[in-house]
Each structure stands twice: as C-alpha cells, then as structure tokens.
Structure 1
Amino acid sequence: MSRTLVIWLPPVAALREENTPYPAWLRIDDGVIVDSGQDDGWVGAWETPQDEDADGRLVALAPAADVPLRWLHYPDAAPAQAAAAARIDALKDSLGDAASLHVVTGQPAGEGQAVPVAVTTHAAMAAWADWLKARDLAPVAIIPATAAVPPPEPDTLWTAEIGGEQVIRSADRAYLSDPELDPLIAGNHAVVPLDSDRMREALLLTLAAPPLDLLSGGWKPKRSWSVDAAMLRTAKLLLVALIAISVLVPVIYAIRLAADTGRADEAVVAMAKKAGVAAPDPAAAEAELDRRLAAAGGGPLAFSVPASALYDAMGDAPGVSLKTLSHRTDGTLSTTLAAPRVEDINQVLLALQARSYRITAQPMAGSDGQQMANITIRAVP
C-alpha cells in the first residue's frame, strides 16, 4: 500500500507569530483521501502506520501567500530552452535582489506548452526548512499549493480554497485572493468557485505528477545512503553461503582425492599380488618389485634407464662424443665424454641433473686437444 501525507506549510508571516497555528493536512492511501484536518491528528497516524509494509512519503505544499505561480508561453522553443527563458524572464519581472530570490521552473512535456514558474525567497525556504526540521519531517518534495488549481474555462477565473487559503486561478497565474484586488484583476471576466470534487481530483493529480518542486537548486536535499534491513539480511545470507561454499569445495575435493587415491592403492596392491608380491600397501609393493628387478638386472637399475637419459642429454649438445660406457649392477653408469669445450660437457651434465640423476665428473685433457671428463651417473633418481 502506498501512503502519502500532505502538509501545508504555514505562511512565513505566521511563523513569526508566537503561537504558530496547526497546519492543514490530509492523508492519502492508494490514491484515496482517507483523513484530513487542521490539527496534530496526522502525527500518530503517520509515525505508527497500520500497515508495516506501507510505502510512505511526505509532500509539503507551500502557501500561495509566499509562492505565487505563473505560466509563461514560448511557442517556438524546445522544452529545455523554454524553461531557461522562463527563469530569466521571471527574475526580470520580480522585485528585490535576485540573489535573495528562489526561482523554480518546471519543464513542459512538449514544445509549445506553457512553463510553470514559482518565485519565492531563500528566507522563506530557510524558515520552512527549520519548521520541518523541528518536527523531524523530511518531505520528498515541496510543491506550490497554487499548482494544484486547474486552469479555468475561457473568459473566467477560478476561486478555490486550498489549505485554508483562498486562491485565484487565471489562465496564466495563480495567487492568493485579495477581495479588493480580485475585481480589478478579473476585469470583465467572471470569478467562478471551483467545485470541491474537481479541486480534490486536481490535487491528487498534482501530487502524482508535480509540475515543479521547490526542493531544487541549492535546496535540493543531499543524497543520504541508508541501509535496507532486508537487503542487509540478504547480503549476510549470501556471505554465509559464499563462506560455506569456499570451505566445502576444498573439503569435497580432498574427499574425492582421498577416495581416488585409495582406489588406486588398492589397484596397485592387487596388480602386485598377481605378480606374486604380497604387500600391505603400494609403497611396500613397489619396493619389493624394485628389489626383484634389481636382482634380475632390470627395473630402474637396468642399463637402459640411465643410458637413455644420457643419449637424450647428448642430443642437445651435438659437439659431445661418447668415448667409453660401462654399467654396474648397482645401477651406476660410467662413461667418458669428449667435446671441444668444457661448456659442451657441462650442458650434458646439467641436463642429467635436471632429470634428478646424481652426477660425478672428473675433467681431464685429451691427447687430441679436446676436453674430456670421466662421469658416473646413478641409475636411480
């Protein structure tokens, strides 16, 4: 449910009095006026709403005594240009120092439409701001009360009571009624009372789509960041879920890895059993297989393992040649390498060390001027 509380701001002259009268007010629920008055009856209903899920807003109406309204026409100007021109013309036509005036213009919806212009003072805005602040009220908009009076029929003027003020509305102006000046301003035009039902409908339309807002320029409220309780709860739940997922992912991965490792260990033990090796775990099975292969002259201690690594390393050093090669049963490969430069032999040694072989080297000079080295390579990394 949407709720709107409308409060008429007191005239500036009334604020100077010792006892400021209660403002006129009305409450609107879902576009229907449900309560009104000119007392403090709005306070309880606004501060303690019946519906906790209600979407409420406060709109203040500025009195006609302090904010008259004009409509200026610029048929050939675009809406933005018309609004700028209306502001300049309103300042030209206003009395007093321009710096003390607060001029607000609306922007017409289309080209050729009239531009509403409200003129008040910064002193009045400050007085209303203090009055609202003293009551902990923060309206979303301050609309001139005269903006709610619809335009009259041709050759007539409306007179309507709004917020305890009698307002006159002509084709291009809306202002506070003055019994002595009204006949002079009306001239030969008839002043016709506006039907209360029509005035009520016009007020509701104005509140739904305000033609202008006095809370603009220097009086525009500064944006304040507020934390929505529901969004905060959602953010907390998302944070908890993120932490839980962050913890569960590695835990699940570890469980799956442990399960896969267990299955692999069982498969190794089963394969070793088929080979006649009875072992309680894969490490024991691997040790027993290495022992049997070593005894048979195979496995990682076989000649082919370090010899293959040696030939691969020599493939990256074309200048290195093999002079002698022998193999012992403990898996050690002995060889003599020759090369034009010591750096070429070192390249082979570094390649073997990169493959985690244990290397010993004893350099010596060859009879043909080449560099030579006696090298041993441990077959087991």
Structure 2
Amino acid sequence: MTRTLVLWLPPVAALAGEDAVRPAWLRVDDGVIVDSGQDDGWVDAWEKPQDGRGDDRLIALAPAADVPLRWHHYPDAPPAQAAAAARLDALKDSLGDAAALHVVAGQPAEAGQAVPVAVTTHAAMTAWTDWLTARGLDAPTIIPSAATVPPPEPDSLWLAEVAGEAIIRTPDRAFQSDPDLDPWIAGERVIAPLDADRMREALLLSLAAPPLDLRSGAWKPKRRWSVDAERLTLAKRLLIALVIVSVAIPIVHAIRLMSDTSRADEVVVVTAKKAGIEAADAAAAEAEIDRRLAAAGGGPLAFSIPASALYDAMRDVPGVSLKALSHRTDGTLTTTLAAPRVEDVNMVLLALQARGYKVTAQPMAGTDGQQMANITIRAVP
C-alpha cells in the first residue's frame, strides 16, 4: 500500500510571527484521500504503525504567497532546452539579487508544451526545511501549491481554494489571490470559482506526477544510505560462518595429518618388529634399522653416501686433496682436506651444505704450507 502524507507549508510571514502555525494536511492511501485537517492531527496520521510492507511518502506544498508560477511557451524547442530557456527568462523577469532566488523549471513531456517555472527565495527554502526539521520531518518533494491548480476555460480565470489559500489561475500564471487586484488582472475575463471535486482530482494528479519540485538544484535532497537490519543480520551470520569454516579447515587438516602420521609410525614399529627390532616408537625403530644397515654396508648411514657427496664436491675444486678418511657406524664421515687456500676448502664445505649435509670443520696448519681442515660430515642429510 502506498501511503502519502501531504503537508502544506506555512507562509514565510507566518513563520516569522509568534502565533502557533497549524498547517493543513491530508493523507492519501493508494490514490484515495482517507483523512485531512488543519490541526496537529497529521502527527497521528503519519506515525500510525504500519505493517512494514507499504511505501510511505511525505510531500510538502509551498504556499502561492511565496511561490508564484508562470508558464512559458517555446513551440519549437525540445523539452530540455525549453526548460533551460524558461528558467533564464524567469530570472530576467525577476526583481532582486539573482543569487538570492531559487528558480525551478519543470520539464514538459513533449516539445511544444508549456513549461512551468516557480520563483522563490533561498531564505524561504531555509525557513521551510528548518520548520520541517524541527518536527522531525524531511520532505524529499516540495511542490508549489499553485502548480496543482488546473488551467482555466477559455476567456476565464479560476479562483481555487487550496488548503485555505485563495489562488488565481490564468492560462499562463498562478498566484495568490488579492481581491483588490484580481478584477484588474482579469479585465474582461470572468473569474469563476473552481469546483472542489475538480480541484481535488487535480491535486491527486499533481501528487502522482509533480509538474515541478522545489527540492532541486542546491536544495536537492542528499542521498542517504540506510542499512537493512535483516540484511545486516544475515551478513553477520555469513561472516561468523566464514570465520568458523576458515578456522575449521586447518584444524581438520592438522587432525587428519596427525592421524595419518600416527598410523604411519605404527606401521614402522610393526615392520621393525617383523625384522626383530623392538622399539618404543618409529624414530627409535628407524634409527636401529639405519644402524644395522650401516653395519652391513648399506642404508642411509652407509659409507658410500657421504663419501660420494664429498668426492662430487672436491671434483668442482681441483686444488683440494684428501689426506685422511674414516667412517663411523652412526653414519658420520670424518676426513682431512688440504688446499693451497682456505677459500678452496670453504668451497667444498659450501657444496656439501648445499646438498643438505651437516658439516663441521676445524682448521689446522699444514707442514708443507697448505691449508688443512678436519671435517665431519653427517651421513644422513
């Protein structure tokens, strides 16, 4: 359901007075006027609890006393150009400082149609917006009340009463009625009162499709970002779920890895037991298997593995010679290297470390002027 509250803004002169202002208002539900008045009843009409499924709108109407209208005709101009030209012409015809005026032109639907132009002041706009803000309201649309009066019949003028304000409507103007000036303006034309039902229909049409809106230009409402509580709750839940999943994935992976490692260790212990090795855990079983293989001349602790790595490293440095070489059952290879320079020995050590071996070296002086070093190489990289 579309619910619209229409609130007539007080004249600027009334806002400057000390008397309390009671604006006229009416409430429209789905294009039907359901309530109206000229009191504080609009507060209840606007603040009635809704089911949350409606579309609520607040539209304010500015008094003709402060916002007169004029319709300009540009038969050959496109709608956008006609609106721009009408605004410029209205500025030229207006008195006072142009910077203090707020001029708004509507845009015709088709070329050749009349362009409505409203002229008011920024001071009036400030007074109305402040008045609304003081009541906790913000009207995104402000329509000149004179713009709602339909054009008159040929050779006549309308005298319409809109929210207690008398408005004169000519073919090209709409303004507040003045009993002393109206006959002079009408001339030979007849001033006829506008039927209330016809005025009501024109008002509803103007609310559905405003001919122009004073909340434009410098007074265009700023876009406000609102947060949907339900979507915010959903976003929080999704974020919590994402955090839980992000934490759960590595935890599950770690649990599975620990389980697989435990099963592999059990297989190692069982396999070692079949080979006659009693061990408390997989590390002890592996160490005993390596020791037995080394004693038999094989396995990762065998002499051939670190020795081949040493010979490969020495082959890249021709000046290095081997003085002594021994091997222990724990896989450690002990050797003495000699070279003309310390840098040559270091190159061999770096090559062994690059292959993943743990190397320790103790330099010593050679008897023939060469540089020597006692080196230990762990058999298992």
The interval holding the TM-score normalised by the smaller chain is 0.7 to 0.9
| Distance (whole Å) between structure 1 residues aligned to residue 308 and residue 192 of structure 2 | 114
Shift in Å, 1:70: 1.6
- TM-score, normalised to structure 1, is 0.83
Paired residue type of 1:357? K
Shift in Å, 1:25: 0.9
Matched, 1:358 2:334: no
Contact 2:358 2:377 (8 Å CA) reproduced: yes
* 1:1-381 pair list within 5 angstroms: 1-109=1-109, 112-152=112-152, 157-187=157-187, 194=194, 196-222=196-222, 226-314=226-314, 317-320=316-319, 322-323=321-322, 326-330=325-329, 331-335=331-335, 337=337, 341-354=341-354, 355-362=356-363, 375-381=375-381
**Compared with structure 1, are the counterparts of its residues 251 and 378 closer, same or farther at alpha carbon in structure 2 (3 Å cutoff)?**
closer
**Compared with structure 1, are the counterparts of its residues 90 and 321 closer, same or farther at alpha carbon in structure 2 (3 Å cutoff)?**
same
Q: Secondary structure at the match of 1:96?
A: coil
| Distance (whole Å) between structure 1 residues aligned to residue 13 and residue 93 of structure 2 | 23
Contact 1:70 1:116 (8 Å CA) reproduced: yes
| Distance (whole Å) between structure 1 residues aligned to residue 371 and residue 77 of structure 2 | 97
Shift in Å, 1:7: 0.4
Tell me the percent identity: 70
Contact 1:319 1:340 (8 Å CA) reproduced: no
| Distance (whole Å) between structure 1 residues aligned to residue 133 and residue 64 of structure 2 | 21
| Distance (whole Å) between structure 1 residues aligned to residue 370 and residue 78 of structure 2 | 95
- TM-score, normalised to structure 2, is 0.83
**178-187 vs 283-292, which deviates more?**
178-187
Q: Secondary structure at the match of 1:277?
A: coil
Contact 2:321 2:339 (8 Å CA) reproduced: no
Corresponding pairs, count: 379
**Compared with structure 1, are the counterparts of its residues 86 and 294 closer, same or farther at alpha carbon in structure 2 (3 Å cutoff)?**
same
**138-147 vs 91-100, which deviates more?**
91-100
Per-residue CA deviation, residues 256-275 of structure 1 (Å, 9 max, x unaligned), is: 22222223223323433443
Per-residue CA deviation, residues 237-279 of structure 1 (Å, 9 max, x unaligned), is: 2333333233323322222222222232233234334434343
| Distance (whole Å) between structure 2 residues aligned to residue 91 and residue 202 of structure 1 | 28
Per-residue CA deviation, residues 95-123 of structure 1 (Å, 9 max, x unaligned), is: 23334322222344555544321111233
Contact 1:352 1:359 (8 Å CA) reproduced: no
Paired residue type of 1:35? D
Contact 2:294 2:303 (8 Å CA) reproduced: no
Paired residue type of 1:285? A
Q: Secondary structure at the match of 1:301?
A: coil
**Compared with structure 1, are the counterparts of its residues 301 and 6 closer, same or farther at alpha carbon in structure 2 (3 Å cutoff)?**
same
TM-align CA RMSD: 3.3
| Distance (whole Å) between structure 2 residues aligned to residue 359 and residue 300 of structure 1 | 19
| Distance (whole Å) between structure 2 residues aligned to residue 359 and residue 16 of structure 1 | 97
| Distance (whole Å) between structure 2 residues aligned to residue 116 and residue 134 of structure 1 | 31
**142-151 vs 369-378, which deviates more?**
369-378
Contact 2:359 2:377 (8 Å CA) reproduced: yes
| Distance (whole Å) between structure 2 residues aligned to residue 241 and residue 129 of structure 1 | 45
Contact 1:319 1:339 (8 Å CA) reproduced: no
**Compared with structure 1, are the counterparts of its residues 173 and 306 closer, same or farther at alpha carbon in structure 2 (3 Å cutoff)?**
same
Q: Secondary structure at the match of 2:300?
A: helix
Q: Secondary structure at the match of 1:298?
A: coil
| Distance (whole Å) between structure 2 residues aligned to residue 253 and residue 133 of structure 1 | 59
Paired residue type of 2:328? T
**Compared with structure 1, are the counterparts of its residues 84 and 301 closer, same or farther at alpha carbon in structure 2 (3 Å cutoff)?**
same
